[in-house]
Structure 1
């Protein structure tokens, strides 16, 4: 198992450590929880976005990640790429909670199976079927633990691959409201003679899934000479994995009346092992397809109203108040400033100053507006406010230039 190069402290000191600057690049901390339900100590790997500080009011949606030791690094990287930096606001910044395994086949299988002869004494299968207890651990112990110690928003995603994908589908079907969205990556729907698959077909017809999103990624595990059409008629065990997933996809698509927001994709160039990263990327883009505010694609009649209205809709979608991101707002205001649309630029910069009064950037940009308007005293006032929060050479140079002209 790969080791995280992380600090192992209590949750509070771990969070504080994230805000400290040192010579290490850290992406998370190792926390632990004593589970009464599972009767064991469970480690958890926790990523909190770098924008968080101990005195910050910022809070984040949470992605819960099964097989955490295998996928933590890549999932954190994908989210950082999609959520941080100018233009990269495809999804919100998010926490990631990786759940490493102690007994994987116990926790990630929903039903117990007995080994077939001659494997009647198989140790691997003796603990199978602990999936419901594991889900109970997540619901009653892990989520409350995370919510009590970390800066969380109520929006939650469950992500899992293979047996983890099987668990994701079990939770989505039988514990639907535990998470808002589900990412199921090449799930092992063949388990226990496709028991969960058979249950799923009936539940999809009878249950209301409104407000829930599922993304299903299907790997290419076909035998040579087959395609996704011909494999459906095959009856050998070697193809049962992909056949069960294709059946799942078909069942979900047939029940369009149940309110489930659903998308699936077959990845012909990816096998069972290579598929998790690209599916997670595509799934996040699907889940948050309406999150991004892209002025280039909008006919902005009133930019202030349009910006506010967009994030009101995003807030409704996510179930909590979403403030227009600082970078997005600042970029919009700067674009109007370059276009000499000064009234629009001022409106936008005012929004940022109101929403992010502790940011040096918002005062610097508002100072640029006053400088463009020829109001040097106001520009100097806002540049000084920016510098009082954070010393930056660029703003210092602006102040020195203005003072030298007096």
Structure 2
């Protein structure tokens, strides 16, 4: 979890994982939850852009982004340091899930499109695909590398569209683009009772139910 600090999403997501991995439920195997505490998410979760003119259309000031565009370094940290360290130090296999919401959802989308094989499962919630004037969506087909692990799974969730129709439409557009690729297992979840600020917990719970449909009693 890129938003994985104690004051971010670590505690409540580990609770969902613990619930689903208890032996009398066994929705999926016991798992290692890796939470990465943020230092500067606007810097680390965004890719390079020519200018910041687009942020004002989203209601932000350019001054809100004094540093940005370092996602390539962050992704390299995943690939070259973090994942090899976990697999060497712990009893980990190569089944990997990344969970991200908002700017972290943008980061997850960038990894999916450019470094697909880093993870088997992508849970992308209310992603900030407006970054770069939605260039990831515009370039998705050309960016997407079909170096997929077998049965790569993607779960995309969006909160109430009345809060931000453009973010809903972009999340839905991402789903439609990915749905065209038969090697992907892709799901979309609309949560009209949730807002951008509240969607994370329920969306992750729904994702686990949708992606791992069998429990120990239903096998």
2:29 to 92, 97, 107: 92
Counterpart of 1:288? 212
State whether residues 208 and 260 of structure 1, in contact with CA within 8 Å, keep that contact through their aligned partners in structure 2: no
Runs of 4+ in 1 over 6 A off after TM superposition: none
DSSP-derived class of the 1:96 partner: coil
Counterpart of 1:245? 171
| Deviations 1:35-62 (CA, angstroms, capped at 9, x unpaired) | xxxxxxxxxxxxxxxxxxxxxxxxxxxx
Which consecutive residues of structure 2, in runs of 5 or more, have no partner in the other structure? none
Counterpart of 2:65? 125
Change (3 A) 1:122 1:188: closer
CA distance in 2: counterparts of 1:287 and 1:246, whole angstroms: 18
TM normalised by structure 1 equals 0.48
CA distance in 1: counterparts of 2:171 and 2:75, whole angstroms: 22
RMSD between aligned residues: 2.3
Alignment of 1:377-396 (within 5 A): none
Alignment of 1:5-404 (within 5 A): 65-69=1-5, 70-86=8-24, 88-112=25-49, 114-116=51-53, 122-203=62-143, 207=146, 209=148, 210-222=150-162, 239-253=165-179, 255-257=180-182, 259-290=183-214, 292-294=215-217
Counterpart of 1:335? none
Q: Which has the larger radius of gyration?
A: 1
State whether residues 91 and 285 of structure 1, in contact with CA within 8 Å, keep that contact through their aligned partners in structure 2: no
CA distance in 2: counterparts of 1:246 and 1:179, whole angstroms: 21
CA distance in 1: counterparts of 2:48 and 2:204, whole angstroms: 26
Q: Which has the higher contact order (CA 8 A, sep 6+)?
A: 2
State whether residues 106 and 129 of structure 1, in contact with CA within 8 Å, keep that contact through their aligned partners in structure 2: yes
CA distance in 1: counterparts of 2:73 and 2:138, whole angstroms: 21
CA distance in 1: counterparts of 2:65 and 2:98, whole angstroms: 25
Change (3 A) 1:261 1:154: same
CA distance in 1: counterparts of 2:208 and 2:143, whole angstroms: 25
Which consecutive residues of structure 1, in runs of 5 or more, have no partner in the other structure? 1-64, 224-237, 299-406
Change (3 A) 1:89 1:181: same
Shift of 1:85: 4.1
